[in-house]
Amino acid sequence: MTYRLRTFVSVKNGIEIRECVTLAELAACVDLQREVFALPEIEISPVRHFVVTKNAGGSALGAFSDGELVGFVLSVPAFLRGEKAFYSHMTAVRPEFQSFGIGARLKWAQRKGALAENIKVIKWTFEPVKARNAFFNLEKLGAIVTQYQENFYGTDYAASVDQKIGLASDRLFAEWHLESEKVRELAERRSFTEKVEPTARIAIPADWTKLVRSDAKKALDEQHRVRSEFQSAFAAGLVGRGFVRDEAAPHFLLFKN
């Protein structure tokens, strides 16, 4: 059984999307994640991780501007419910190249490569309290959420500059069903509208980063509320399939499965 992504090249608006294949290109991925995520050095995935992933059948797809790496997405071979899948471990775009659709192009290229290998699902995690990521994952890509993991990476005691409040690293698991109706429509740049009304809504803070900095106690309370509402919704069999990016009250839309 092979998981090898086929190498392909896509060029648009001066940005080339192709697989990172050399050690230098994989090392550039390491440097880029250091710049984008600002993680402690011990948390940075090294070149060896990228090399092993590539040789295990995964891939790092890179976005290049004039030959310089400005973004990448890492696909790790996985199994999901007994079927081969990809775990999308990281997607990163250099700050000055963000908001130009490069992240979306990387994800759609990831989908194309996965389908070429008969892989139908890609999974990853994201922070449930950040509206921009939620909108991108559910509305721009068409992913769904059915699982909430409490404190996935461990407690972050440095989440606030002034107060070490101990925010848990809660995560939602996104599942990208690559041949679902919504994903197919979005892949063709067509709009998609749910045929039924949502069963429930889960609101999140309008600006999570600002809230953490201005009122650490309220941020912690909001994290606990969001966690409780998602856990209750998933226990009831609901599925998150939409997100409303309202400036005042952004919220997830949950539906009966």
Share of residues in the chain with pLDDT > 70 (%): 92
Domain assignment present for 215: no
Domain assignment present for 223: no
Share of residues in the chain with pLDDT > 90 (%): 82
Domain CATH for 97: 3.40.630.30
Per-residue CA distances from 95 to 32, 38, 71, 152, 197 (Å):
10, 12, 10, 26, 37
User: How many residues does the structure list for the chain?
Assistant: 257
Reported as a single tens digit per residue, the pLDDT across 26-46 is: 999 999 999 998 888 888 999
Cα(15)–Cα(127) distance, rounded to whole angstroms?
28
Taking alpha carbons only, the member of 152, 141, 248, 243 closest to residue 202 is: 243
How many other C-beta atoms are found inside a 10 Å radius of the C-beta of residue 14? 8
Domain assignment present for 59: yes
**Predicted pLDDT at 232:** 98
Quote the pTM value. 0.90
> How many domains does the chain fold into?
1
Domain assignment present for 3: no
Domain assignment present for 214: no
Reported as a single tens digit per residue, the pLDDT across 100-148 is: 999 999 999 999 999 999 999 999 999 999 999 999 999 999 999 999 9
Cα–chain-centroid distance for residue 165? 25
Domain assignment present for 138: yes
Confidence of residue 5 (pLDDT cuts 50, 70, 90): very low
Domain assignment present for 99: yes
Reported as a single tens digit per residue, the pLDDT across 222-234 is: 999 999 999 999 9
Strand, coil or helix: what is 136? helix
Given a contact cutoff of 8 angstroms between Cβ atoms, the answer to whether 194 and 241 are in contact is: yes
Cα(14)–Cα(63) distance, rounded to whole angstroms?
10
Residue 164 has pLDDT above 80, yes or no: no
Reported as a single tens digit per residue, the pLDDT across 176-214 is: 999 999 999 999 999 999 999 999 999 999 999 999 889
Taking alpha carbons only, the member of 179, 203, 56 closest to residue 121 is: 179
Cα(189)–Cα(28) distance, rounded to whole angstroms?
31
Domain assignment present for 232: no
Residue 3 has pLDDT above 80, yes or no: no
Range of the domain at 65: 10-195
Reported as a single tens digit per residue, the pLDDT across 61-107 is: 999 999 999 999 999 999 999 999 999 999 999 999 998 999 999 99
Residue 4 has pLDDT above 50, yes or no: no
